[in-house]
Amino acid sequence: MKTRREFLGSVSAAAAIAALPRGSSALGSIAEWSGDPLGVRPDFPVVDEGIYLDGAYITPSPRQAVEAAQAFLARKASQPVSLGDMLAETNEARSKFARIVGASAPEVGMLFATSDGENIITRALDFAPGDNVVIDDLHYETTFILYRQLAESAGLEVRTVRNVDGEAPVEAFAELVDDRTRLISVAWVSHQNGYRHDLRGLADLAHAHGAYLYADAIQGMGMLDLDVKDVGIDFLTSGTYKWLLGGYGVAPFYVREELLDAVGVDRWGSLQIEQDLGEHRYRLYEDGRKYGYATLGFGAVYQLSAALDYLLGVGVPNVEAHTVGLARRLRDGLAAQGHRVLTPDGNRSAIVTFEHGQSVSRARADLEDADIRVSLKEGGEQIRVGVALFNIQEEIDALLGLTSSWV
């Protein structure tokens, strides 16, 4: 293994700068690197801590979102916010999320986590023996657990598309879909390799067979532009601690308006009350608010609301153009170096996964020395990079300078 001096001599100048110890005065110059086309780096304290390329794991929040959460907590200590005001802020966040995805506010509810949404949808579909659901092997673990349980308890047949070279195209799903298919379920963007599914194609396929399309959207929302009406998707859920720049414990849930009546609630609580009719009788919400049966983590709601304001100000299409462009630069550079890249060529997301080809201990140590934060996957043999809106070209080139020493 190279010494630190030999290592620094073998990488690019940008990587050498990045390798300076945390807290070095040179890190200030990194934070002020040129090429911040979105003008957002001053809002993200994480840029002062090194090179953070792990947005697919957790995307750091901007100062504005953190300050909103802190202000809420400060009020809790001195002048607690009323429930009515907290619910009003929740409705504001619903409306902002609806704007981002091209939906109407009544089509959006607030859940606690991404997995809540798919659980609600599968209960509403009331599967019978012989029904089938089609998923793919690029999905998140929750889905495999959920459908295994439904296979055992409801006689549901689970059909799984096997990816080929990191891709699971519509044509592969079409081979498994038939008139007993009730649901196609995908992770819009795979956490494994960043593969971006063709939602329009999958929605058309599902609807042609009388089925629905559900998307786990946590790895896409806030990174990629989406119009739910344009793609024809039926349902999606997204946690908010990744590309939506929020926190934990709140997850917007979209149900196409025509399906709200069919997708009931699976639990009950006081926050579903629209009107008190007296004598313990109530009129309940019939739109997306009906899914919010109980008290949310309202601090996370305030954080999300400010984060959505931030994204609306920057513009998700601008975020997509910037981050996907940097991801393509990284993928092309890794491929040119000879690394096995697991993200398909031409893929349109900000996630890139590759095999580093080194011992796990060396890869981990080199990344730590260079102060580059990524995710080590599959026992540490793969690296997943998630490019966020605050990342810039120099940081991509710094990582490529490091990976060039591994071939």
Which pLDDT does position 20 carry in this prediction?
30
pTM of the model: 0.90
**CATH 3.40.50.970 at 4-32+315-406, yes or no:** no
| DSSP assigned state of 294 | S
Which pLDDT does position 215 carry in this prediction?
98
> Tens digit of pLDDT for each residue in 186-240?
999 999 999 999 999 999 999 999 999 999 999 999 999 999 999 999 999 999 9
Confidence of residue 165 (pLDDT cuts 50, 70, 90): very high
Q: Does 243 have pLDDT greater than 50?
A: yes
Q: Does 389 have pLDDT greater than 80?
A: yes
d(CA 168, CA 166): 7
Nearest to 180 by CA among 238, 132, 134: 132
Q: What number does CATH give the domain 66-313? A: 3.40.640.10
- Would you list the domain boundaries of the chain? 4-32+315-406, 66-313
Tokens of residue 158, six digits? 């689970």
Q: Which is it for the CA torsion 169, 173, 174, 175, positive or negative?
A: positive
> Tens digit of pLDDT for each residue in 101-119?
999 999 999 999 999 999 9
> Tens digit of pLDDT for each residue in 270-326?
999 999 999 999 999 999 999 999 999 999 999 999 999 999 999 999 999 999 999
d(CA 248, CA 358): 34
Query: CA 132 from chain center: how many Å?
Result: 26
Query: Are 177 and 211 spatial neighbours (Cβ–Cβ below 8 Å)?
Result: yes
> Tens digit of pLDDT for each residue in 62-72?
999 999 999 99
pLDDT-above-90 percentage for the chain? 91
